[in-house]
Structure 1
Amino acid sequence: MNENRSNQGGFTARAIGLGLLSGCAAFQVGMGIYFIALRPTLLPEDERFIGGSLAELSSAAPELAIWLNRVFVVLGGHAVATGLLAFLAVHLVSRRGRPSRVALLLLAGAGLFSTVLMSRINFAIASDFRWVLLVPALAWIAGVITLGLRAFSLRPGQE
């Protein structure tokens, strides 16, 4: 049965999966820009976890703030790059009838080492943003699974 005809709501599994991954790509770009341009050196949760304020830490390590700002700019650049590459992957997958297993494994790996790892660490440090950061991790997982269901359920030549 044609997937478009079998879906009453008008959204195909492929469109949902690609939409979820596009949203994750946009999140990565936005988060990267935040880290590059807006993130303070230490958030209140960072100071709580470390057990001291930036002023207190700077007395022992005067260049700490400069160092951390540079680290966050690099981290932000990597997040933007991940988001842009995720958009490229979504674009390439959207041009094909169905994603290859290699494409799905690469998308799953990218999500694992970006949004899922970030979410896990934010839970480990009891971040104020842990529940918000769980959303893109779950969306990335759902997007890959949704595309995977389509890729593994159709035989070659069947669309």
Structure 2
Amino acid sequence: MLSGVLTTVLGALALGVGGYFLFLRPTLLPEDIRHTGIDPTTLPPAFLDWLGIVFATWGGFIAGFGILLLGIGITLLSRRTLWLYLGTAAGVLVAFGRFVLSNILIGSDFLWFIATLFVLALALAIVLVVTAVRRHPTRRTDAPEG
């Protein structure tokens, strides 16, 4: 029980951090400037744009890991493997989906490889969801007519 709670809490927090990196984090934080000694006004806009893409990529992986941990945690708590399948599927899609998007945005020379990883993640997600649906059929109740 405790392992499920801790894993779920850690997953939720990681998902929150990932969301912050994806959507809210400024390109440079005050500690970034202090640590590097860089004057941000001297940096070219293209560098700052690239750095924003890098942090969003990290955010995608952190969020994907958080989703995976949530799936594991909920599985530990509920003892239903459905959440393991769905959490893994969603986690790999978020992580590798953001990774391929970032590489498209920067015109990466390694896009072919990153796209291959995404296609594998997509295939895995499809297999996991199909398996989950087959192993965990939805309970249907027929409503009375009238």
TM-score normalised by length of structure 1:
0.46
- State the alpha-carbon separation in 2 of the partners of residues 89 and 16 from structure 1: 13
Give how far 1:21 is off: 1.4
Match of 1:123 in 2: none
- State the alpha-carbon separation in 2 of the partners of residues 17 and 71 from structure 1: 32
1:107-146 pair list within 5 angstroms: none
Match of 1:35 in 2: 21
Match of 2:69 in 1: 86
Q: Deviations over 1:63-117 (max 9, x none)?
A: 2100010011111111110011001111233344xxxxxxxxxxxxxxxxxxxxx
Unaligned runs of 5+ in 2: 80-146
Percent same amino acid among aligned pairs? 34
- Which of 1 and 2 has higher RCO (CA within 8 Å, sep 6+)? 1
Amino acid at match of 1:44: P
- State the alpha-carbon separation in 2 of the partners of residues 19 and 93 from structure 1: 8
1:70 aligns with 2:53: yes
Match of 2:34 in 1: 48
- Contact 2:4-2:75 at 8 Å conserved across structures: no
Instruction: Point out 4+ residue stretches in structure 1 off by more than 6 angstroms.
Output: none
Match of 1:149 in 2: none
- State the alpha-carbon separation in 1 of the partners of residues 39 and 6 from structure 2: 38
Unaligned runs of 5+ in 1: 1-14, 97-159
Count of aligned pairs: 79
Amino acid at match of 1:63: A
- State the alpha-carbon separation in 1 of the partners of residues 78 and 7 from structure 2: 15
Amino acid at match of 2:20: Y
Amino acid at match of 1:93: L
